[in-house]
């Protein structure tokens, strides 16, 4: 289905239904809420392990297959801008013509009426698309914040925003509650929910064990590996989640150790100046610089060839064919100046009148080269490798080749900075090698691995196609965000809708809204109604998970709500979509289907998890975005 048809079906059907504005809410508010709901309905099928991917073709013909909410909404914004620009260009010329005809022929009957009707429809179409584009931009800002903070949870944010807008519409246009009352109640509900989550989280064991049996042996223990693997369950490459998890955790641990050493050194310096400073390490104060983790993707191989390089990988080759291609226990010299004869910045000419003058010019040039060679020899190290940001003259290249010194020229500035950060200006590296990717000899790379003080790492992603490599890169970024966030704040909550069901059961309890001191109501009836409506919006997460899995969401949801209301022991129960085994559809019976629905309901305490900060961020951003939309009174298009 084309998205423009989907948009027309959702938006322009409101023409007949919205004829009068509500006393409590404006028509523009309702249109904005419907736009947000229609957008989230389009994206919510990409939530969960059994979700579907979106096949996106951009304006350049490039193909992207993804279920990431932020990626999808970014491309929806692009397509909406293109359609809006095309509509605007056509409408502007059409409107000018109509204005001229109206000024010259004020009394025309049939043609003029038809022209004005077309103009009205065209203007309305443009306004609707501008309104929809504005809603997209608001949601993009929300998803961008979530992606920047935690790298995951963007689809959940969009689904929750749509549910909040849907319930807010019922409160405003059916119950007659003013929008500002709904906003106040939603904000109070958010504060209460965040306090409840502070007593709901589970601790995480952050010590990393790189063994294949570590996860299986500790079934009742929440480890860093399990939490990181949970972030990859809904991805298309979940079959390779164990290997990607190990790569992500190893890279984060290397950067974390480096950042911790820098933090300790700074604390030692501060403690020398002030003896009252506490020297205990607080992980929350250590910032893991994820920019030090570089991801490079090269298609043309299998996914199993993806590996972690404790160093740098650059797309260059040695400057002379006779230079050694593999150097072990090498010393690196990083240069940001050229190893070539200086060239003037302006045009000039030299007149040579004799052979002696020509030989004097060659002598000056030769002396310059000898000075450079003398400086290199004065370093006095063996197995030297020169990494230069600029060019190297052929004479110097020949000398370096004769001395068995390898050199790399024209290294980009960012790669040069990464190499200098792992070695300083003259450093040690265990192995430097020139490798060829595939059968193409022109596709050559130089790998710096095994650095003594590595402050940067590189993840080499391989795949059979460009799309597979890009999806793997996106999954690695998400898992790296989760691993680094778990190291800083090792607190998680169960996923699978269990957290949302717990909050819903707490808000539906009548005693929850009573003041325990004097047994009086702390909230008004309108506030209680709106706050319960906010909690009902949370059920959109487990409902969407069940719908995308193809199960009877009403029956399973009622059982889950009953479990959460019975006792506090069942507060971790949720939906475990991955627990279902495949069965033959033709040989199954009604009893087997009932058992299947029952097996979905699981205690998610030791199944899958989300970061506590991630879940709080989802609730905050979704509620704040919904409150922002509810504060809209009118839409103005200039």
Q: What are the structural domains of the chain?
A: 3-196 (1.10.560), 291-344+352-480 (3.50.7.10), 494-609 (1.10.560.10)
The whole-number average pLDDT for the span 33-38 is 90
Helix 612-630 × helix 27-43 angle, to 10° = 150
**pTM reported for the whole predicted model:** 0.78
Separation between Cα atoms, residue 524 and residue 295, nearest integer Å = 54
**154-184, pLDDT tens digit by residue?**
999 999 999 999 999 999 988 888 899 999 9
Of 76-90, 205-219, 546-560, the range with the lowest mean pLDDT is 76-90
The whole-number average pLDDT for the span 346-365 is 86
pLDDT confidence of residue 627: 93
Q: Where are the beta strands (DSSP E) in 437-514?
A: 444-451, 457-463, 491-494
**93-136, pLDDT tens digit by residue?**
333 333 334 444 444 444 454 444 444 444 556 777 787 888 88
Torsions phi, psi for 404 (to 5 deg):
60, 40
Residue 568 exposed, middle or buried by CB count within 10 Å (0-12, 13-18, 19+): exposed
Selection from 3-7, 473-477, 616-620, 630-634 with the highest mean pLDDT: 616-620
Separation between Cα atoms, residue 396 and residue 401, nearest integer Å = 8
pLDDT confidence of residue 564: 84
**48-96, pLDDT tens digit by residue?**
888 888 888 877 788 888 888 888 888 887 654 444 444 444 433 333 3
pLDDT of 517 over the 70 cut:
no
pLDDT of 447 over the 80 cut:
yes
> With contact defined as beta carbons under 8 Å apart, do 467 and 475 qualify?
no
Q: Where are the beta strands (DSSP E) in 567-608?
A: 573-575, 601-603
Closest CA to 556 of 595, 526, 509: 595
The whole-number average pLDDT for the span 468-492 is 88
pLDDT confidence of residue 88: 42
Q: What confidence tier does 540 reach under pLDDT thresholds 50, 70, 90?
A: very high
List all residues 6 or more positions away from 480 whose beta carbon is below 8 Å from its beta carbon.
151, 248, 251, 252, 290, 293
pLDDT of 409 over the 60 cut:
yes
> With contact defined as beta carbons under 8 Å apart, do 211 and 446 qualify?
no
Q: What confidence tier does 585 reach under pLDDT thresholds 50, 70, 90?
A: very low
pLDDT confidence of residue 346: 79
pLDDT of 151 over the 70 cut:
yes
**22-31, pLDDT tens digit by residue?**
445 578 888 8
Alpha helices per DSSP H over 326-440: 355-379, 394-402, 413-423
pLDDT confidence of residue 625: 93
> With contact defined as beta carbons under 8 Å apart, do 578 and 620 qualify?
no
Mean pLDDT of the chain: 78
pLDDT of 281 over the 90 cut:
no
Q: What is the DSSP letter of 569?
A: G
> With contact defined as beta carbons under 8 Å apart, do 246 and 228 qualify?
no
pLDDT confidence of residue 556: 87
Q: What confidence tier does 6 reach under pLDDT thresholds 50, 70, 90?
A: low
The whole-number average pLDDT for the span 402-410 is 90
The whole-number average pLDDT for the span 544-559 is 86
Separation between Cα atoms, residue 151 and residue 143, nearest integer Å = 10
Element (H, E) at 249: helix 241-273
Structure tokens belonging to residue 48: 């969960």
3-state secondary structure string across 7-52? HHHHHCCHHHHCCCCCCCCCHHHHHHHHHHHHHHHHHHHHCCCCCC
Closest CA to 240 of 493, 490, 469: 469
Residue of 337 and 421 predicted with greater confidence: 337
Separation between Cα atoms, residue 166 and residue 26, nearest integer Å = 15
Q: What confidence tier does 277 reach under pLDDT thresholds 50, 70, 90?
A: very low
Separation between Cα atoms, residue 470 and residue 472, nearest integer Å = 5
């Amino acid at each position: 289905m084309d998205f423009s048809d989907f948009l027309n079906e959702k938006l322009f059907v409101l023409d007949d239904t919205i004829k009068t504005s509500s006393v409590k809410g404006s028509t523009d508010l309702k249109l904005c809420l419907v736009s947000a709901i229609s957008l989230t309905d389009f994206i919510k099928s990409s939530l969960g392990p059994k979700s579907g991917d979106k096949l996106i073709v951009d304006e350049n013909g490039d193909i992207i297959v993804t279920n990431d909410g932020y990626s999808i909404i970014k491309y929806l914004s692009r397509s909406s801008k293109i359609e809006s620009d095309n509509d605007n260009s056509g409408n502007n010329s059409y409107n000018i013509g109509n204005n001229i005809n109206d000024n010259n022929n004020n009394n025309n009957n049939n043609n003029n009426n038809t022209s004005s009707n077309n103009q009205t429809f065209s203007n309305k179409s443009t306004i609707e698309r501008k309104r929809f584009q504005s809603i997209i931009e608001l949601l993009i800002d929300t998803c961008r914040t979530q992606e920047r903070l935690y790298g995951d949870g963007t689809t959940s944010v969009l689904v929750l925003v749509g549910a909040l807008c849907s319930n807010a519409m019922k409160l405003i246009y059916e119950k007659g509650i003013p929008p500002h009352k709904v906003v106040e109640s939603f904000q109070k509900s958010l504060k209460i929910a965040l306090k409840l989550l502070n007593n709901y989280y589970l601790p995480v064991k952050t010590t990393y064990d790189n063994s294949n049996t570590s996860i299986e042996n500790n079934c009742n223990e929440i480890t860093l590996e399990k939490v990181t693997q949970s972030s990859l369950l809904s991805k298309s490459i979940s079959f390779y989640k164990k290997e990607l998890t190990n790569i992500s955790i190893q890279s984060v641990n290397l950067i974390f150790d480096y950042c911790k050493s820098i933090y300790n050194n700074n604390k030692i310096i501060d403690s020398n100046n002030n003896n009252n400073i506490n020297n205990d390490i607080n992980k929350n104060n250590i910032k893991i610089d994820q920019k030090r983790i570089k991801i490079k993707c090269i298609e043309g191989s299998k996914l199993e060839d993806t590996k972690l390089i404790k160093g740098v990988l650059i797309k260059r080759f040695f400057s002379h064919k006779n230079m050694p291609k593999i150097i072990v226990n090498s010393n690196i010299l990083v240069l940001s100046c050229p190893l070539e004869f200086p060239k003037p910045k302006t045009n000039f000419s030299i007149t040579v009148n004799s052979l002696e003058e020509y030989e004097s010019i060659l002598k000056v040039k030769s002396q310059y080269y000898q000075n450079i060679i003398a400086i290199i020899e004065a370093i006095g190290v063996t197995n030297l490798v020169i990494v230069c940001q600029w060019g190297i003259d052929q004479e110097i290249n020949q000398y370096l080749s004769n001395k068995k010194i390898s050199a790399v020229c024209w290294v980009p500035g960012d790669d040069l900075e990464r190499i200098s950060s792992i070695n300083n200006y003259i450093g040690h590296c265990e192995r430097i090698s020139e490798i060829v990717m595939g059968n193409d000899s022109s596709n050559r790379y130089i790998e710096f691995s095994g650095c003594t003080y590595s402050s940067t790492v590189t993840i080499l992603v391989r795949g059979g196609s460009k799309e597979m490599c890009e999806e793997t890169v996106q999954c690695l970024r998400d898992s790296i965000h989760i691993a680094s966030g778990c190291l800083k704040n090792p607190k998680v909550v169960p996923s699978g809708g269990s957290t949302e069901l717990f909050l819903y059961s707490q808000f539906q309890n009548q005693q929850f809204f009573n003041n325990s001191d004097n047994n009086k109501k702390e909230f008004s009836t309108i506030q209680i109604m709106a706050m319960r409506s906010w909690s009902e919006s949370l059920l959109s997460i487990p409902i969407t998970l069940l719908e995308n899995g193809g199960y009877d969401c009403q029956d399973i949801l009622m059982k889950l709500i009953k479990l959460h209301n019975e006792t506090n022991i069942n507060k971790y129960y949720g939906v475990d979509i991955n627990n279902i085994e495949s069965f033959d559809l033709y040989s199954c019976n009604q009893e087997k289907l009932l058992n299947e629905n029952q097996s979905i309901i699981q205690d998610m305490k030791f199944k899958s998890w989300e970061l506590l900060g991630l879940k709080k961020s989802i609730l905050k951003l979704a509620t704040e975005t919904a409150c922002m939309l509810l504060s809209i009174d009118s839409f103005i298009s200039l």
